[in-house]
Amino acid sequence: MNYEEKMLLFNQNRFGIYVHFGLYSLLGRGEWTMYSERIPAKEYAKLADSFNPKPGCAEEWVETAVAAGAKYMVLTTRHHEGFSLFDSKYSDFTSVKYGCKRDIVREYVDAARKAGLRIGFYYSLLDWRFPGYFEPEKYPESKEALLKQIFGQVRELMTNYGKIDILEYDGGWDAKLRLDRPQWAEFWHAAELNAMVRELQPDIIINDRSGKDEDIETPEQVVKSGVQRMTESCMCIGDSCTWGYVRFNPNWKTPEQLIQHLVQAAQLGGNYLLNIGPCPDGSIRNEELERLQIVGGWLKENAEAIYGSQRCELIGASQPGLVDLNLQGPWTRKDNIGYWCIFRWGGSQATAVLVGTPVKKVTLLANGRDYPFDWDAKTGKLKIYDLPILPPDPLCSVIKVEFSDVPRRMEETDLADWING
């Protein structure tokens, strides 16, 4: 597959579920606890004996992802704490040697593959147990040992689990927080590492967090369009500071917010990776489960507006350099069809402006009915009539508009023209 084909497939999948699960889940204070509380490695390692997720938890994650309408998943195979959820010749600090003595990555891969989901691995380059990460000059042997672990483990992950679709590195930043990406890449030997990955998994998608650009950008907690590459915006359902399980986690996003993020990611031509942080026993907390089920219910009805959609240039589908917006909501598109995703329903009439392509038909996805409309070729104003007064879908109602060609935004040669009609 070439880059375009890979990205097309990636966009068709559009929506993924991220799973942050590790020893930190047992503490309930987020995945950074070891470092933020500076817990010495030996002491932290004691947690491993109590790592005992209930059998079948990976299947539960997969079932939830399917119910949410996600087409792929990404699991933290090893986070910054260094505990691997897979069998490894390069580390004994694994879920196979301690606690439950199971290969959680294998359980996840098997379940996801069976459900037809595409498979992503998150892998942290940094490992807080190695002084050589923090002070490479002072502890050169430890840095070498860390690199040996990385190369060995990434090879294991790319070899032992069949076809892997996405590799998401993390923790590639410099311990002293110098913003020099080429230097990060050099530190991790990213060129060599990624060449090995591509040899083992020729069609894989790799993110840019090793310092080397590769295929996708993965901004956190915000929906963004990529500067040069495809974007996968990743986000938490609860409070944004942690991804792993936090027992008392306030500020859960509403299903409306989650759907709006997904739509925004789609209208920018990118993907949305929504995170869950399973409980210590691997189960998914109700706050996350309920929201994902609601998102899935909405996606079922509105699938065609989201999976595999393309950027649309009509107002409300943000265009780089344009400040215009349609306050009701953005557009996505598939070839000649525009999908106006209305977050703020305006009642029985909807008006879109600067529509430069003739309109053939207007349908509401929520009820499958067609609605009368006027399109003025001169002004580009599209008025849709007799719509329901109340939002037909309280979460986000999608108006499907069939155009005679790819919908174009009408150019405004005189910005003041509209004032006098």
CA dist 218 and 213 (Å) reads 11
Q: Which is nearer to ligand GLC, 170 or 214 (CB)?
A: 170
Q: Which is nearer to ligand GLC, 234 or 268 (CB)?
A: 234
> In the complex, what is the shortest distance from the CB of residue 98 to ligand GLC, in angstroms, rounded to a whole number?
21
> In the complex, what is the shortest distance from the CB of residue 125 to ligand GLC, in angstroms, rounded to a whole number?
11
Q: Which is nearer to ligand GLC, 165 or 170 (CB)?
A: 170
* Closest to 109 (Cα-Cα) out of 160, 168, 64, 52: 160
> In the complex, what is the shortest distance from the CB of residue 230 to ligand GLC, in angstroms, rounded to a whole number?
16
CA dist 187 and 178 (Å) reads 12
Residues near ligand GLC (CB under 6 A): 20, 31-32, 170, 220, 234, 243
Angle ∠(21,27,30) on CA atoms, nearest 5: 60
Contact 32, 251 (CB under 8 A): no
> In the complex, what is the shortest distance from the CB of residue 109 to ligand GLC, in angstroms, rounded to a whole number?
19
In the block, residue with structure tokens 């509209």: 418
Q: Which is nearer to ligand GLC, 99 or 172 (CB)?
A: 172
The amino acid present at 360, given as its one-letter code, is K
- For residue 46, the 8-state DSSP code is G
Contacts of 419 (CB under 8 A, 6+ apart): none
> In the complex, what is the shortest distance from the CB of residue 227 to ligand GLC, in angstroms, rounded to a whole number?
18
Q: Which is nearer to ligand GLC, 34 or 68 (CB)?
A: 34
Size of the chain in residues: 421
Q: Which is nearer to ligand GLC, 179 or 323 (CB)?
A: 179
> In the complex, what is the shortest distance from the CB of residue 30 to ligand GLC, in angstroms, rounded to a whole number?
8
Give the up-direction half-sphere exposure of residue 6: CA atoms within 13 A in the CB hemisphere: 17
